[in-house]
C-alpha cells in the first residue's frame, strides 16, 4: 500500500488535479459563443465573468469543510507516516475533492446545455449562478491541494505552494492545448469536456491525498525534482504556443505534440515511485544497521533511526538586528488565530485591500484579453495564443514566487511581504504598457501583469499561514481571496466594461486604442495605491518575521 499511498504520490496526484481544474482561466475561449448564443452585451458578459471569478475565489466554504474533515494535528515524530487520526483516515481530504468535482460537473453541464440549445437560454442570474458553481468547485480542489501540501511540507511552504499554485495557473495553457487538439473551432464541445475531464481525474486520484509528516535530508531535493519537471513542461508548452503562431499544425502534428505533453505530465508519478523506492531502501538499510548495533549492545532500540535524515536548510543571516537563538531555545509557538480573530487585525484588512485592487486588476485584464485583442486588430489565433501565454506568465509568477520567497527567507532573511510589494510595483508598469496600445503591447504588458498576478497567489497563502497560523489557514486565506472577485467586479464591470460600452457601436463592438486606454490608466493608478499599502504591510510585519518566522526556520535548520 505504501507504493500507492505516500507523500510523493500525493504530490503527483495534486499536480494532476491542479492542472485539470483551471477552466476559469480559459473563459476567453468560450466567452464569444456564450455571448452570441445568449444574446449578451459586453457588460452582461462581464457580469457573468465576475460571478465566475467570485466562484473561483470565494473559497470560505471549502476552507470550513476542510477544517471539519481534516482536523489539525501537530507534526508526528515518525517520518513519512500518515496522520494517526482515525477520523482523518476515514474521511480526510478526499471529501473536499469530491465536493469540488460535483460542483464543477454540474456547473459546466448546465452552461453547455444552454449553449448547444438543449435548454432555452436561462435568465442572466441563473447563468451567473451556474458560472459561479462551476468555478467554485475549483476552490475546493485548490484548497485541498494547497493546505495539504503546506501541512505535509511546512519548512518549504513557499516551494510546495508554488508548485501547486503554479500548475493551477498553468492549467489554462494545458486545457487550451486540449482544445486545439480535439475541439478546435468548437467551444461548445470544449464546455462539455470541462464538465467531464476534471471530475474524472478527481474521482480517480482523490484518495491519494492524505496528511503525512515528512522529514529527511532529501526533502527539498525531492521537491526540486518536481520543480524541474514543471519547468520542462513550461518550456515545452512555450515552444508549442510559439510554433502555433507561425505554423498551422496538421491533425497528426497536434495529436503528436499532445501525446508528448501527456508523457511530461505523467512524469511526477515516476518521480514519486523513484523517491518512495529510495526511501524504502534507506529505511531498510538503517533498520538493519540499528538492529545489528542493538544486538551487539544487548539492547533493542525502540526509535526509528534518523541519523542520515536531518532536515537540510540554508543558514539564515545572523546580523545584529536579528533575533539570536541559543541551543536551548525552543521552537517558537504559532498562535493559530481563528477567522474572527484574524479579522480583528489590521494585517488581515491590508491583505484584503491588496487582493481587491492588486489581484482584481489582474482578473480584469485576463477577462477582457479577447476584447482587447479584437479592438487592437489581433487575429483569433493570436488572441488564443495570448490567453495561453497569459497562463505561462501566471504559472511563472506562481511557481517563481514560491521559490524566490523561500530563497530570500532562507538565504537573506527578508520577509515575504517585501517580494509581494515589489510585484505590485511591477504590475503598475504592466497596466501602463497595455494602456499605451502600441503594436505588440499585448506580448509585453500581460507578461508583467501575469507574472505579478501569479506571484500573489503563491505569496498570499504562505504569508497568511505565517501571520495567522496553519490551523485555520484554509478558511482565513479563502476569506481574503474573496476580495479578488470583488475587485474584479468593480474594475472589470464598472470600469473596463462600462468605458468599453460607452465607446462601442450599435453592434456592441469597439476598435482602436480608445476602447481600453483610459480604463487601464485607471487600473495602473489603483495598482500604485495598492503598492503603497504593500509597503506599509512590509514595515508592519518586518519585526514579526525576525522574531517569530525566521527564528522558527533557524530552529528547523538546527
* pLDDT tens digits, 24-60: 878 888 888 898 888 888 778 888 887 887 888 788 8
Q: Residue 445: what pLDDT?
A: 87
**Farthest CA pair distance, the chain:** 92
CB atoms within 10 A of CB 441: 17
d(CA 106, CA 112): 10
pLDDT of residue 36: 87
Q: What is the pLDDT of residue 302?
A: 41
Q: Could you tell me the pLDDT band of residue 497, with boundaries at 50, 70 and 90? A: confident
The pLDDT mean for the chain works out to 81
Residue 3 has pLDDT above 90, yes or no: no
Give residue 537's pLDDT band: very low, low, confident or very high (50, 70, 90): very high
* Phi, psi for residue 81 in degrees, rounded to 5: -85, 145
Residue 297 CA to residue 357 CA, distance in Å, equals 66
- pLDDT the model gives residue 406: 83
Q: How far apart are CA 283 and CA 248, in angstroms?
A: 52
Whether residue 317 is predicted with pLDDT greater than 50 in this model: the reply is no
pLDDT, tens digit, 9 for 90 and up, residues 404-451: 888 888 777 788 899 999 999 999 999 999 988 888 888 888 889 989
H-only helix segments in 408-497? 416-436, 445-468, 473-481, 483-488
Axis crossing angle, helix 346-354 with helix 445-468, rounded to the nearest 10: 160
| Nine cell digits for residue 275 | 523517491
Interatomic CA distance for residues 19 and 83, integer angstroms = 27
**CA 142 – CA 154 distance, rounded (Å):** 17
On the 0-12 / 13-18 / 19+ scale of CB atoms within 10 A, 1 is exposed
Per-residue pLDDT, averaged over 325-329, amounts to: 42
Q: Which of 19-33, 263-277, 330-344 has the lowest mean pLDDT?
A: 330-344
Percent of the chain with pLDDT over 70: 83
pLDDT of 114 reads 93
Whether the pLDDT of residue 301 is over 50: the answer is no
Residue 187, pLDDT above cutoff 50? yes
What is the pLDDT, as a whole number, of residue 320? 35
Residue 138 CB neighbour total at 10 angstroms: 28
Q: How far apart are the first and last CA of the chain?
A: 33
Q: Considering only 73-82, 477-486, 533-542, which range has the smallest mean pLDDT? A: 73-82
Q: Is the pTM of this model over 0.95?
A: no
All three cell numbers of 425, joined, read 510595483
d(CA 135, CA 193): 15
Rounded-to-integer distance, Cα 340 and Cα 349, Å: 12
| pLDDT, mean of residues 331-353 | 82
Rg (Cα) of the chain, in Å, rounded?
A: 24
CB–CB of 137/100 below 8 Å?
yes
- Residue 533: band (very low, low, confident or very high) from pLDDT cuts 50, 70, 90: very high
pLDDT at 147 over 50: yes
If you ran DSSP here, which 8-state letter would residue 323 be given?
A: P
Give the number of other Cβ atoms within 10 Å of residue 499's Cβ: 19
| Cα–Cα nearest to 163, from 63, 5, 313, 18 | 18
Quick one: 525 exposed, middle or buried, by C-beta within 10 A (0-12, 13-18, 19+)? middle
Q: Which three cell numbers stand for residue 192?
A: 462539455
Amino acid at each position: 500500500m505504501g507504493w500507492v499511498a505516500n507523500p510523493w504520490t500525493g504530490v503527483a496526484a495534486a499536480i494532476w488535479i491542479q492542472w485539470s481544474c483551471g477552466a476559469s482561466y480559459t473563459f476567453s475561449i468560450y466567452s464569444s459563443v456564450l455571448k452570441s448564443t445568449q444574446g449578451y452585451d459586453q457588460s452582461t458578459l462581464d457580469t457573468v465573468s465576475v460571478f465566475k471569478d467570485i466562484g473561483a475565489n470565494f473559497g470560505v466554504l471549502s476552507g470550513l469543510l476542510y477544517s471539519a474533515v481534516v482536523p489539525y494535528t501537530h507534526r508526528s515524530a515518525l517520518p513519512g507516516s500518515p496522520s494517526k487520526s482515525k477520523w482523518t483516515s476515514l474521511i480526510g481530504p478526499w471529501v473536499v475533492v469530491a465536493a469540488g468535482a460535483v460542483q464543477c460537473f454540474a456547473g459546466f453541464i448546465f452552461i453547455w446545455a444552454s449553449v448547444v440549445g438543449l435548454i432555452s437560454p436561462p435568465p442572466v442570474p441563473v447563468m451567473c449562478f451556474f458560472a459561479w458553481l462551476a468555478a467554485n468547485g475549483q476552490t475546493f480542489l485548490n484548497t485541498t491541494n494547497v493546505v495539504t501540501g503546506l501541512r505535509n511540507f511546512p519548512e518549504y511552504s513557499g516551494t510546495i505552494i508554488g508548485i501547486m499554485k503554479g500548475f493551477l495557473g498553468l492549467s489554462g495553457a494545458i486545457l487550451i492545448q486540449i482544445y486545439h487538439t480535439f475541439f478546435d473551432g468548437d467551444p461548445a464541445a470544449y464546455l462539455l469536456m470541462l464538465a467531464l475531464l476534471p471530475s474524472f481525474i478527481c474521482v480517480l486520484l482523490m484518495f491519494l491525498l492524505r496528511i503525512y509528516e515528512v522529514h529527511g535530508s532529501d526533502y527539498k531535493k525531492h521537491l526540486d525534482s518536481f520543480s524541474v519537471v514543471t519547468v520542462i513542461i513550461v518550456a515545452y508548452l512555450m515552444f508549442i504556443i510559439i510554433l502555433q503562431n507561425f505554423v498551422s499544425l496538421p491533425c497528426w502534428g497536434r495529436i503528436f505534440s499532445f501525446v508528448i505533453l501527456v508523457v511530461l505530465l505523467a512524469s511526477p508519478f515516476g518521480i514519486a515511485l523513484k523517491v518512495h523506492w529510495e526511501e524504502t531502501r534507506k529505511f531498510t538499510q538503517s533498520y538493519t544497521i540499528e538492529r545489528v548495533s542493538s544486538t551487539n549492545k544487548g539492547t533493542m532500540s525502540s526509535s526509528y533511526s534518523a541519523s542520515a535524515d536531518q532536515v537540510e536548510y540554508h543558514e539564515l543571516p545572523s546580523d545584529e538586528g536579528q533575533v539570536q537563538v541559543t541551543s536551548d531555545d525552543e521552537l517558537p509557538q504559532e498562535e493559530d488565530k481563528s477567522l474572527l480573530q484574524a479579522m480583528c487585525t489590521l494585517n488581515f484588512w491590508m491583505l484584503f485591500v491588496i487582493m481587491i485592487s492588486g489581484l482584481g486588476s489582474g482578473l480584469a485584464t485576463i477577462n477582457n484579453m479577447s476584447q482587447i485583442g479584437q479592438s487592437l486588430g489581433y487575429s483569433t489565433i493570436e488572441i488564443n495564443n495570448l490567453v495561453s501565454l497569459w497562463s505561462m506568465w501566471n504559472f511563472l509568477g506562481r511557481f517563481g514566487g514560491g521559490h524566490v520567497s523561500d530563497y530570500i527567507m532562507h538565504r537573506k532573511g527578508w520577509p515575504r511581504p517585501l517580494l509581494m510589494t515589489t510585484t505590485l510595483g511591477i504590475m503598475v508598469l504592466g497596466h501602463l504598457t497595455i494602456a499605451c496600445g502600441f503594436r505588440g503591447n499585448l506580448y509585453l504588458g500581460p507578461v508583467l501583469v501575469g507574472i505579478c498576478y501569479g506571484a500573489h497567489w503563491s505569496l498570499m497563502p504562505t504569508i497568511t499561514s505565517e501571520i495567522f497560523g496553519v490551523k485555520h489557514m484554509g478558511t482565513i486565506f479563502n476569506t481574503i481571496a474573496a476580495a479578488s472577485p470583488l475587485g474584479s467586479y468593480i474594475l472589470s464591470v464598472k470600469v473596463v466594461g462600462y468605458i468599453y460600452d460607452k465607446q462601442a457601436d450599435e453592434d456592441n463592438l469597439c476598435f482602436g486604442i480608445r476602447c481600453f486606454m483610459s480604463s487601464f490608466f485607471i487600473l495602473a493608478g489603483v495598482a500604485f495605491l495598492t503598492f503603497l499599502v504593500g509597503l506599509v504591510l512590509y514595515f508592519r510585519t518586518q519585526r514579526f518575521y525576525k522574531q517569530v518566522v525566521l527564528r522558527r526556520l533557524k530552529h528547523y535548520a538546527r
